[in-house]
Amino acid sequence: MAFPHGFLFGTANADHQVEAHDPAKEDVWDLWERCQGLTPRGRATDFWNRYEEDVEAAAAMGCKLFRFSIAWARVETADGEFDEEALAHYRDLAACIRAKGMKVMLTLHHFVWPVWLERDCGGMTGTRFPDLFSRYADRVAAAMGDLVDYWITFNEPSQLTFGFIRPWWQNRYYMPPGLPRGSDVDAEAEAVGKLVPSLFLAHARARKAIKSHHSDAKVGVNPLVTGFPTWLQMLMDFGACHRGLSEAVFKFTTGGALISEKGNVDLVIGGVTAADQTAFEFSDPYVRTGKAVLVQANHDGVDLASLEGMRVGVIAIGNQPESWKRDLPASTKKRIFANYDSARTSLAAGEVDAVYGDAFFLLPEGMTGSECFRFLVSGLSDESYVVVAPHGHGELLTHVNRAVAAFQRESGESFAAPWQSHSGAVPLEAPRPLSLQEVLRGDQGSAETEPHSRELRRVRRRGRIRIGIRTDAPGVSEISTGDGLEVKLAGLIAREVLGDETLLEIVPVEPMQRFKVLKSKSGWLNWAWRFWGTTSLIANANWWYLGISGRLPKELCPEEAVG
């Protein structure tokens, strides 16, 4: 294949994604991975120690350009303290690339920065950030600028906003640093309003510092390119240049909605996992469960193989169909049930030989006649249940998450799930921090005192909260009459929102209807509203170029950064 003249076929990587973890020189993503329960990078591909192999492979592929990034946390280990050995290492890497006949493209900031910068200097929204970034760029340029052909100050700067705003489909921040609990849409807009000009100024000053060493240096950014049609891109560019930042953030985040959807209930606690739903907002997990198979106590089998050719009841909701196809022997004869109560009744009557589903509902706490059943197998999956709310109920979910934390504290060891000893399942961990501020400074954020959102004011005016709980859940089911965990959690939510556990209306919901009761006819308007807010500023591929060309408001792109 022949490339056009001047086309540079190349490869790219990023420091945190490929370099081995160094506990003495951690960046904010190392901290974020731990506090959010994400997979730590570990040794990654060990590019720090084995870069020569990757450079050789790139050259063998015919690459003409090799892009890599500097780990700021490695070269500036504390405020103003630079590691000359780390700088020399990156210089050796650049020299290795050039020796193989490839050009060098260097990224200074690929979504990561030092922990000390976030902890002591306010991170990217701190007043010192533009100058600190410029100082860092200056030292890198002095150490290896003669070997760099192209400079990238920031990789996809638009994506950095996800560390300060939560999209409507996400209950947590996608990347560091996050904002303290209780931060509303105004706080998120204020944070992004600080971030955007800070990035522009940091880029401008870093560019100046680099060119002070090498006047012909090519310095730019790598924006996220979305590939919209030209007519749509022009429309979005107009929106970015003629509308306030707070309005765009308002449309984008969980905190605001054009229409605060009013379904038949305010919340649903109904055996919903985060994987089950994509069209609603959801809480932190409140209990952990997994797929299992229930049989009569006198069943002869000891494993799934004993079900070959047998009749197995299954529940046709949520992620059940793909799960039973994965776990059950292909020869089993499936019989579909609408809920767990009817499936267990058929099992007791001998109409089916086993029932497959969520362990939490197969053998719930307080069920009459539980001694007649046992788990054949459990722990076939690892899932966590969440509370679900319609769009526009982000502030209500903040209260729900506090109730979830109280639920986990109060349940403690008193909750002995019947499937846990069998499967070795472990209890849920404590709720994870929402921001690095909680981790670095112990700041939990301030509790909300006056409700700002329409849905929370509506609940409080009504004087009770309406929570849908599925009809086969303990405490709602006719078979499991004792108060189950779902009912207990609902009471704690009522206490958190209204100050009294009795100000609760439980609405029995058929399992197949658990999402429908949250919907309203106006819901589609929110998607259109937020799509426009998302694309016309936050995820607009052109907003960086609009800024440096002087078309954005000065409060977003100061004059110093234009040009």
Average pLDDT over residues 25-45: 93
Q: How high does pLDDT run on average in the chain?
A: 85
Sign of the torsion angle spanned by Cα atoms 506, 507, 512, 517 = negative
Cβ density class 426-456: b for 16+ within 10 Å, e for less: eebeebebbbbbbbbeeeebeebeebebbbb
From CA 482, how far away is CA 33, in angstroms rounded? 40
Over residues 286-321, the pLDDT tens digits come to 888 889 999 999 999 999 999 999 999 998 776 677
Cβ density class 22-43: b for 16+ within 10 Å, e for less: eeebbbbbbbbbebbeeeebee
What torsion, rounded to 10 degrees, do the Cα atoms 69, 70, 71, 75 define? Answer: 180
Contacts 24+ apart (CB under 8 A), 100-103: 100/55, 100/56, 100/58, 100/59, 100/66, 101/59, 101/64, 102/10, 102/55, 102/58, 102/59, 102/63, 102/64, 102/65, 102/66, 103/8, 103/10, 103/64, 103/65, 103/66, 103/149, 103/150
Partners of 293 in the β-ladder: 356, 377
Q: What is the pLDDT of residue 394?
A: 72
Q: What is the pLDDT of residue 430?
A: 59
Partners of 289 in the β-ladder: 383
Over residues 194-217, the pLDDT tens digits come to 999 999 999 999 999 999 999 999
Q: What is the pLDDT of residue 263?
A: 64
Over residues 86-111, the pLDDT tens digits come to 999 999 999 999 999 999 999 999 99
From CA 346, how far away is CA 362, in angstroms rounded? 13
In this predicted structure, the answer to whether residue 124 has a pLDDT above a threshold of 60 is yes
Give the list of residues 6+ apart from residue 474 with CB closer than 8 angstroms, or none.
364, 365, 366, 367, 480, 481, 482, 483, 484, 485, 486, 487
Higher-confidence residue of 236 and 219: namely 219
Q: Counting Cβ atoms within 10 Å, is residue 227 exposed (0-12), middle (13-18) or buried (19+)?
A: exposed
In this predicted structure, the answer to whether residue 323 has a pLDDT above a threshold of 50 is yes
Dihedral pair phi/psi, residue 218, rounded to 5°: -95, 110
**What is the 3-class SS of 361-429, one letter each residue?**
HHCCCCCCCHHHEEEEECCCCCEEEEEEECCCCHHHHHHHHHHHHHHHHHHHHHCCCCCHHHHCCCCCC
With beta carbons less than 8 A apart as the criterion, state whether 253 and 393 touch.
Answer: no
**What is the 3-class SS of 19-34, one letter each residue?**
CCCCCCCCEHHHHHHH
Q: Which among 504, 509, 515 is positioned nearest to 477, based on CA atoms?
A: 509
Q: What is the pLDDT of residue 532?
A: 56
In this predicted structure, the answer to whether residue 485 has a pLDDT above a threshold of 50 is yes
Q: What is the pLDDT of residue 444?
A: 59
H/E stretch holding 94: helix 84-99
From CA 444, how far away is CA 277, in angstroms rounded? 28
From CA 286, how far away is CA 486, in angstroms rounded? 9
Average pLDDT over residues 266-290: 82
From CA 34, how far away is CA 203, in angstroms rounded? 30
Structural domains in the chain, CATH included, are 10-226 (3.20.20.80), 260-439+452-520 (3.40.190.10)
Q: Which among 191, 218, 85 is positioned nearest to 129, based on CA atoms?
A: 191
pLDDT band at 3 (very low <50, low <70, confident <90, very high): confident
Average pLDDT over residues 531-548: 66
With beta carbons less than 8 A apart as the criterion, state whether 129 and 77 touch.
Answer: no
Chain centroid, CA 11 distance in Å: 27
pLDDT band at 449 (very low <50, low <70, confident <90, very high): very low
Share of the chain above pLDDT 90, in %: 53
Q: Which among 362, 368, 394, 364 is positioned nearest to 381, based on CA atoms?
A: 362
From CA 454, how far away is CA 37, in angstroms rounded? 33
Q: Which among 222, 257, 299, 243 is positioned nearest to 390, based on CA atoms?
A: 257
Sign of the torsion angle spanned by Cα atoms 452, 506, 403, 175 = negative
Q: What is the pLDDT of residue 522?
A: 53
Residue 15 token pair: 């420091």
From CA 160, how far away is CA 15, in angstroms rounded? 17
With beta carbons less than 8 A apart as the criterion, state whether 116 and 82 touch.
Answer: no
Over residues 465-474, the pLDDT tens digits come to 999 999 988 8
Give the list of residues 6+ apart from residue 231 with CB closer than 8 angstroms, or none.
none
Q: What is the pLDDT of residue 365?
A: 72
From CA 274, how far away is CA 428, in angstroms rounded? 15
Tell me, what DSSP letter sits at residue 538? I
Residue 94 token pair: 């650049």
Peptide bond into 390 cis (omega under 30): no
Q: 3-class DSSP state for residue 445?
A: coil
In this predicted structure, the answer to whether residue 271 has a pLDDT above a threshold of 90 is no
Over residues 349-372, the pLDDT tens digits come to 999 999 999 998 998 876 778 899
In this predicted structure, the answer to whether residue 285 has a pLDDT above a threshold of 80 is yes
Least confident window among 132-136, 169-173, 310-314: 169-173
Is this model's pTM higher than 0.85 or not? no
